[in-house]
Amino acid sequence: MDGRGNQVRVLGVDPGLTRCGLGVVDGSGGRTVRAVAVDVVRTSADLPLAERLLAVGAEVERWIALHRPDVVAIERVFSQHNVRTVMGTAQASGVVALLAARAGLPVAFHTPSEVKAAVTGEGRAGKEQVTTMVTKVLGLARAPRPADAADALALAVCHCWRAPMLDRMAQAKARSDELARAHRARLAAAARAAR
């Protein structure tokens, strides 16, 4: 955990080509979270796609090296009406996931509704609601702008709050599967003994 005790540092990424939100949050168990950094990487639509992805990737690599997160939380690409927008978002998301994996970091994907529900309590909350709650939860002096910046912080907060529950659920399922295997083995042994 890099000398941060029991804290987890999450790099939240709201992927996009025109604007890619980056937010780093420290979580220390429970609902305690603290903002570390936030910014937006912008690329011009006039540039070739490869150059835009390279620019986003270079900044994500710089943030990983600078902030040394424990995990990268990326917004899961969700269906949008504009196919070009969703393609660009998916391509940026893939670059971020690749760079995180190359750095040896786990990657978590969260849907927009999961993020909204975690941060505002409402899975259909609007961007302004998310921005307001992120500002409040992180105790920021002013709201992060544009919305991509707030969304990146919201992703990081969502991961801080959801990851422990998801870990506990995975452990419970593993234990349940183990008990079920042991039970089936006992039943099979009893059936063999009864023959």
Does the annotation mark 177 as catalytic?
A: no
Confirm whether 148 is a catalytic residue. yes
Which token pair is 42? Answer: 């912008």
- The active-site residue out of 39, 46, 61, 75 is 75
d(CA 68, CA 50): 26
Number of other CB atoms surrounding residue 89 within 10 Å: 21
Q: What is the DSSP letter of 194?
A: H
Asked if residues 14 and 152 have their Cβ atoms less than 8 Å apart, the reply is yes
To the query of whether residue 14 is one of the catalytic residues in this protein, the response is yes
Which residue is it, tokens 């196919």?
83
Q: Which tokens sit at 175? A: 């234990």
Catalytic residue, from 59, 122, 148, 151: name it.
148
**Cβ(64)–Cβ(97) below 8 Å:** no
Rounded Cα distance between 67 and 45, Å, is 28
DSSP three-state, residue 124: coil
Annotated catalytic residue within 2, 14, 70, 122: 14
Active site residues: 14, 75, 148
